[in-house]
Structure 1
Amino acid sequence: MFAASALIAVIVFAIVSLVLPFRFKTLTSKWIEQARSALLSRCQYAVFCSGEGKAGERLVKLRTWGITAFALLVIFLVSIDKPFQDHPSNASRVGFAILGAVALTAAVAFAYEMGRAFLPWVHGAGLLSRFGFRALWVLQPGQPSAALRDGLAARVRGSSRVLILDVTGQDLIGKGAGPSGGMLYDTLTSMTSVPVNLLLLQPESYSPDPEQRRATVFQSVLAEMDITPQNFMRRIRATLDAVQTLNESRPEDARIDVRFYSEKPSFRSIVFDESVLVAPWVPRESTFPTPFLEVAQSAADPTLYSAFRFHFARLWVASAPKQEVAAKSHGFKSVVVRRAPAAVAE
Structure 2
Amino acid sequence: MQALKHYMDDGGLFDELVFNFCVAEFVILLLTAIVMVVWIYKGIAPQIKILKIAANNVKEGNLDFSVATGGTDEMSEVCNAFEDMRVRLKNNAKDRLEDEAEQRALISNIAHDLKTPITAIKGYAEGMLDGVADTPEKREKYIRTIYNKANEMNTLINELTLYSNIDTNKIPYNFQKLNIHSYFEDCIEELGMDLENQHIRLDYANYVDPDVLIIADPEQLGRIIHNIVSNSVKYMRADVASRIAITIKDVGDFVQIEVADNGKGIATKDLPYVFDRFYRADASRNSAAGGSGIGLSIVKKIVEDHGGKIWVTSKENEGTTMYFVIRKYQEVMYE
**TM-score calculated relative to the size of structure 1:** 0.22
Higher relative contact order (CA 8 A, sep 6+): 1
Larger Cα Rg: Structure 1 or Structure 2?
2
Greater helix content: 2
